[in-house]
């Protein structure tokens, strides 16, 4: 279906596929530099990491095959599968999918998400369970596990902020996490449905609605000349939701293609699979599926699964 806005037309299906494939590609390639410092990235990939088959086969990475995504995209698909089955966004069904996925002992699951989903009666009241874990952290934990999966919410036609907020709260109660998810989902939504970028003032306003600590990271992302200026490889903060959000927002203002953003984020190190999953879902929304170099699509494992999910979601939202 072709949509028209401001006298220009765009392909909604291309945008949907761009988000879903962009997420998975960033995740799969970002695995190659996950948990590395920028200097370690330079050491192991002196010519930059650009392909799946370059990925270092150390004790961490050898568990995945070349072109295979990690928990970030697994959890996004938990949400997508619920959307497809219900033709709606039902929080209880999403939570059940999270729990079922958790029971399969997934690789790469973050410690914070693990702590929430490990609660025996999690599905009875998932938001309460997540709030309890957050309170036990001293209300200090703001991990990026909610943000890493939220891109698919931006594809929904309405009430995006509400859904993004509530689905984040299924595991992550901190307002910085919630605000991050709403910002990303609304950015994706604006590109997908209106082929338009939210202005920076609007992004700041969304962040301030949830937590005043969000704005400085947004400002830093806009003003940083190089992605290294964001210190994504800071060991003490590499899983922080606002670090990951800043990587995605940086791409909005400093790259001119999907590929440029993908390689910039991946080669910055840090929590690179999550940073790139989030950034590339946004770049996929902005530039579309057709902008993604064919290599990254053709060599992605289970690409047919992603195509099927994309098609089904498109059919629901365009009906």
Please state the separation of Cα 288 from the chain's center in Å.
16
Looking at the chain, the whole-number percentage of residues with pLDDT higher than 70 is 97
Q: Where are the domains of the chain?
A: 9-51+65-317
CATH-assigned architecture of domain 9-51+65-317: Orthogonal Bundle (1.10)
Inform me whether the pLDDT recorded for 3 exceeds 80.
no
Residue pLDDT, tens place only, 137-174 = 999 999 999 999 999 999 999 999 999 999 999 999 99
User: Of 170, 147, 167, 145, nearest to 246 (Cα)?
Assistant: 147
User: What is the per-residue pLDDT for 101?
Assistant: 98
- Taking only Cα atoms into account, the Rg of the chain, rounded to an integer number of angstroms, comes to 18
**pTM exceeds cut of 0.85:** yes
The dihedral region occupied by 195, where left means phi > 0, alpha psi between -120 and 50, and beta the remainder, is left
Residue pLDDT, tens place only, 89-99 = 999 999 999 99
Q: Classify the C-alpha dihedral 309-315-318-319 as positive or negative.
A: negative
User: What is the per-residue pLDDT for 1?
Assistant: 55
3-class SS string, the chain: CEEEECCEEEEHHHHHHHHHHHHHHHHHHHHHHCCECHHHHHHHCCCCCCCHHHCCCCCCHHHCCCCCCCHHHHHHHHHHHHHHHHCCCCHHHHHHHHHHHHHCCCCCCCHHHHHHHCCCCHHHCHHHHHHHHHHHCCCCCCECCCHHHHHHHHHCCCCHHHHHHHHHCCCCCCHHHHHHHHHHHHHHHHHHHHCCCCCHHHHHHHHHHHCCCCHHHHHHHHHCCCHHHHCCCCCCCCCEHHHHHHHHHHHHHHCCCHHHHHHHHHCCCECHHHHHHHHHHHHHHHHCHHHCCHHHHHCCCCHHHHHHHHHHHHHHHCC
Inform me whether the pLDDT recorded for 297 exceeds 60.
yes
């Amino acid at each position: 279906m072709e949509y028209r806005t401001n006298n220009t037309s765009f392909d909604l299906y291309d945008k949907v596929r761009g988000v879903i494939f962009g997420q998975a590609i960033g995740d799969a390639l970002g695995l190659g530099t996950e948990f590395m410092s920028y200097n370690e990235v330079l050491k192991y990939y002196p010519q930059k990491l650009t392909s799946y088959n370059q990925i270092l086969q150390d004790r961490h990475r050898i568990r995945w095959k070349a072109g295979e995504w990690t928990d970030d995209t697994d959890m996004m698909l938990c949400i997508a599968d619920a959307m497809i089955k219900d033709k709606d966004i039902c929080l209880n069904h999403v939570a059940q999918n999270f729990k079922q996925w958790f029971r399969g002992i997934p690789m790469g699951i973050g410690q914070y998400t693990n702590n929430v989903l490990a609660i025996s009666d999690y599905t009875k009241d998932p938001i309460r369970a997540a709030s309890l874990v957050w309170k036990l952290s001293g209300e200090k934990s703001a991990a990026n596990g909610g943000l890493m999966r939220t891109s698919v919410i931006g594809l929904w036609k309405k009430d995006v902020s509400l859904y993004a907020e509530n689905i984040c709260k299924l595991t992550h109660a901190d307002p910085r996490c919630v605000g991050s998810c709403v910002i990303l989902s609304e950015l994706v939504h604006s590109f997908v449905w209106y082929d338009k970028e939210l202005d920076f003032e609007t992004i700041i306003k969304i962040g301030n609605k949830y937590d005043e600590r969000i704005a400085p990271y947004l400002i830093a992302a806009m003003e940083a000349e190089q992605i290294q200026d964001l210190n994504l490889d800071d060991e003490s903060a590499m899983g922080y939701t606002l670090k990951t959000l800043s990587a995605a927002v940086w791409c909005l203002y400093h790259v001119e293609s999907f590929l440029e953003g993908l390689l910039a984020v991946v080669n910055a190190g840090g929590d690179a699979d999550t940073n790139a999953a989030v950034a590339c879902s946004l770049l996929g929304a902005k530039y579309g599926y057709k902008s993604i170099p064919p290599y990254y699509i053709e060599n992605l494992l289970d690409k047919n699964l992603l195509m099927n999910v994309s098609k089904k979601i498109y059919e629901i939202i365009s009906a």
